[in-house]
């Protein structure tokens, strides 16, 4: 890690965070999803959180999004507690979920407008912004389609447009392309990474695919169950193919344990 990065104030900080689910008195007991995790993510980074299913990635994601509270430790996002100061993050965090989560009663453009509506953006302005993002993601002509009339890939593109339209500083993505075919996923992945870099966003991208993590991330954090950091790797464009392959093998070995 270089000095420039060390001196930055982290956008996201996990400080000795643990998260347990369940009740010790119940027959099912307690499930430890995250265990004493400490982690900094800096502004402008595109971080891929990589791990096997059930390793606590989504729990971390929910804590960053303010949808869940840590059992121990602190999570700080942009200097605030995302769970306690939930409303403070209005317009500052946008999420792309695993499934598209489009409101079925809204057309594509109305779905994209959703976040802007929460920000009280005037109707004409939010329509224009939404159309801009729909066009950018290749959905021109489909703005008035209801979600049921769109394909899986198109629906996921609408959800990406919905996240970008709010112009939030922080983008959280929870395996957004896992349900798509590989060709569509690859296209959207490239498009997503380009948009994040072009717009100078900080993005946390959850995935269980090593290839996806390499395609997208500037930095790959490999998690082991219960969410502990196994590897924290910064990727640079001048890394040789051999170096990348070596890292890939290390991650593969770590995940297969």
Partner 1 sequence: MTSATSDNAPVRIPGMASLKNIAMTAAPFAVMALVWQFGSLFFPPYLFPSLVDVFWRCLDILTDWSAFSDVLATAGRILAGLAGAFIIGCLLGFLIVQSKLGDRFLSPVLIFFQGIPALSWVVFAIIWFHGVEFRILFIMVVTTLPAFTFQVVGALRAMPKDLLEMVMSFRPTRLKFFRVMILPAVLPEILTSWKVNLGNASRVVVVAELVGASGGVGYQLLQQQQLFDMAGALAWTLQLVFFVLLFQWVLTLIETFAFRYRAVSERAL
We find the least distance from the C-beta atom of residue 213 to partner 1, in angstroms, to be 23
We find the least distance from the C-beta atom of residue 97 to partner 1, in angstroms, to be 6
Query: Please, is 52 exposed, middle or buried when counting C-beta atoms within 10 Å of its C-beta (0-12, 13-18, 19+)?
Result: middle
Per-residue contact string for residues 161-190; x = within reach of partner 1 by CB under 8 A: -----x------------------------
Interaction of residue 208 with partner 1, rule CB under 8 A: no
Residues 70-89 binding partner 1 (CB under 8 A) are 86-87, 89
DSSP label at residue 119? T
For partner 1, the closer CB: 106 or 224: 106
DSSP label at residue 108? H
Per-residue contact string for residues 118-157; x = within reach of partner 1 by CB under 8 A: x---------------------------xxxx--------
Interaction of residue 67 with partner 1, rule CB under 8 A: yes
Crossing angle of helices 152-165/108-118, nearest 10°? 20
Interaction of residue 90 with partner 1, rule CB under 8 A: yes
Contacts of 136 (CB under 8 A, 6+ apart): 161, 195
171 with 94: CB under 8 angstroms?
yes
Burial annotation 107-122 (CB, 10 A radius, 16+ → b, else e): bbbbbbbbbbeeeebe
For partner 1, the closer CB: 146 or 186: 146
Near partner 1 by CB under 8 A, which window of 32-40, 114-122, 208-216, 231-239? 114-122
Distance CA 127, CA 146 (A): 16
């Amino acid at each position: 890690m270089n000095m420039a990065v060390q001196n930055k104030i982290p956008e996201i900080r996990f400080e000795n965070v643990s998260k347990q689910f369940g009740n010790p008195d119940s027959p099912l007991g307690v499930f430890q999803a995250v265990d004493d995790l400490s982690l900094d993510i800096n502004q402008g980074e595109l971080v891929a959180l990589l791990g096997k299913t059930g390793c606590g990635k989504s729990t971390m994601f929910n804590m960053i999004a303010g949808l869940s509270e840590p059992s121990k430790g602190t999570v700080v996002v942009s200097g605030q507690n995302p769970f306690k100061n939930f409303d403070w993050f209005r317009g500052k965090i946008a999420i792309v979920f695993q499934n598209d989560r489009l409101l079925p009663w809204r057309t594509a453009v109305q779905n994209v407008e959703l976040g802007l509506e929460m920000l009280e953006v005037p109707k004409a302005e939010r329509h224009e912004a939404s159309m801009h993002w729909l066009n950018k993601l290749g959905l021109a002509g489909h703005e008035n389609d209801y979600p049921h009339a769109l394909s899986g890939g198109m629906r996921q593109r609408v959800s990406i447009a919905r996240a970008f339209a709010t112009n939030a500083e922080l983008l959280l993505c929870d395996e957004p392309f896992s349900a798509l075919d590989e060709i569509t996923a690859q296209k959207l992945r490239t498009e997503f990474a380009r948009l994040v870099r072009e717009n100078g966003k900080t993005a946390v991208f959850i995935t269980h695919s090593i290839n996806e993590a390499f395609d997208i991330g500037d930095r790959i954090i490999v998690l082991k169950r219960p969410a502990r950091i196994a590897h924290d790797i910064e990727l640079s464009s001048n890394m040789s193919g051999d170096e990348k392959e070596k890292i890939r093998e290390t991650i593969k070995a770590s995940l297969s344990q």
